Structure 1
Amino acid sequence: MLKFKLYYDKDAEEAWLKKMCLDGWEFKKFFLGFYTFKPCEPGEYNYQIDLLDNWKGDTVDYSSFMSNVGVQVVGQWWRWVYLKKKASDGPFEMYTDVESKIAQYRRIGNLFKVFSFVEAICFFVELIGAVNTGDYIFVIFTVLLAAIFLTMIRIVWKCKLKIEKFKREGM
């Protein structure tokens, strides 16, 4: 089965993958919003999504390490890595201590800060084009870029809130 969804919230995406598995669909691969599933036993797997530390994403060492701890790398899209583990092997949580959870959400927040900065530049270039030409195409793209920018800022804000929550819990 092929499904199309756009997620910008890692936690919501993980919850959706878990629900799909509970409904009997094993996640097989991802590409640009398209998720491929195949039938499985309901609840057979648990899923986690990780963000690699570096931009290149050394998947060979990462996959080898994950395999040694009973986790399978389902796929990778740039720095995002999709992981699964048999539910019968017990709970699956990549980051269990407060410091590692904070570090993960810092990485995610920093990544989206960079994207937000690039989107802001694109927005202002498009806005200048819209003002100078009055062309409705520029206006449409300006509105679209503004929506993308606001979505990215929302992600950064959610990461900041999660980090603050983890800090309070860790006290």
Structure 2
Amino acid sequence: MKKYRLLWDKTEEMNWLNDLAKQGWNLTSFGLGLYSFERCQPGEYVYEADLKDKGIRISRAYREILESQNIEIIPTVGYWFLVRRKAALGPLELYSDTPSRISQYRRIRRMFGAVAALELLFSAFVLCIAIHAGSGWMVLEASVLALLGIVLLNAFCQTDRKIRSLEDAPQSADPVRKLLAAGGVLLGCSVLLRPALPACLLWSMAFLGMILGGFGLYVTWKRKTV
């Protein structure tokens, strides 16, 4: 059985995989949102996840630690990897205490933030070229990249909220405030610098400003309505 799902929340992904395991489906491989399963005894395995400690690979030292605890690494693609262990051996938690959980979530937040920033900057770059070349297809491409950046930005904010809840951090540390400020600055610069910069660059700055500001306003509104 194969399933395609894009899950940005670690807890949601683990709950989903463990529920399928209880139904008798064992995960055999994962990559770019595609999960492959095979039949197994219901409840035979439990699952966990982590970021690879060497970029897109797992170091030998980390592999040995996992193997010493009878934890199997599931073949994966990218920075994220999944593991499983026989449920009979007990609960599977790679990070059981609060400081280590915070450390893991910080690494996840950093990954989401870096990739989101790259996606948004690249979308602005593509938009700049599209306006200069008058290409409608490139405008569509820029919009798709921006949408992916927004999804990753949302994952970044959700992860940050988990960190702040574990740390009991004040609301002033909320990155949404910074997104709103950054959006306002970019929009302001796109207006103030109009005489000095090319039109395509000004449109790109305004584009990024609207994305960051709009996303910040949406998250703020959503939190107030929950």
Query: Over the residues paired in the alignment, what is the CA RMSD in angstroms?
Result: 1.8
Q: Taking structure 1 as the reference length, what is the TM-score of the superposition?
A: 0.90
Kindly report which structure 2 residues correspond to 1:3-152, keeping only aligned pairs within 5 A, or say none.
Answer: 3-55=3-55, 57-152=57-152
3-state SS of 2:143 partner: helix
1:144 is displaced (CA, Å) by 0.7
The letter of the residue matching 2:101 is: K
3-state SS of 2:47 partner: strand
Which one has the largest radius of gyration? 2
Q: Taking structure 2 as the reference length, what is the TM-score of the superposition?
A: 0.69
The letter of the residue matching 2:164 is: E
The letter of the residue matching 1:22 is: K
Distance 1:114 1:142 in 2: 18
3-state SS of 1:155 partner: helix
1:59 is displaced (CA, Å) by 4.1
3-state SS of 1:143 partner: helix
Distance 2:59 2:5 in 1: 25
1:53 is displaced (CA, Å) by 2.9
- Give % identity: 30
The letter of the residue matching 1:41 is: Q
Distance 1:56 1:36 in 2: 20
Per-residue CA deviation, residues 51-85 of structure 1 (Å, 9 max, x unaligned), is: 12332533433222111112111223233121101
TM-aligned CA distance change 1:78 to 1:87, over 3 Å: same
Of 30-39 and 149-158, more deviation after overlay is shown by 30-39
Spell out structure 1 runs of 4+ moving beyond 6 A. none
3-state SS of 1:91 partner: coil
Q: Is the helix fraction higher in 1 or 2? A: 2
The letter of the residue matching 1:63 is: R
1:103 is displaced (CA, Å) by 0.5
Q: RCO (CA 8 Å, sep 6+): is it higher in 1 or 2? A: 1
Q: Is the 8 A contact 1:53 1:107 kept in 2?
A: no
Q: Which runs of 5+ in 1 are unaligned?
A: none
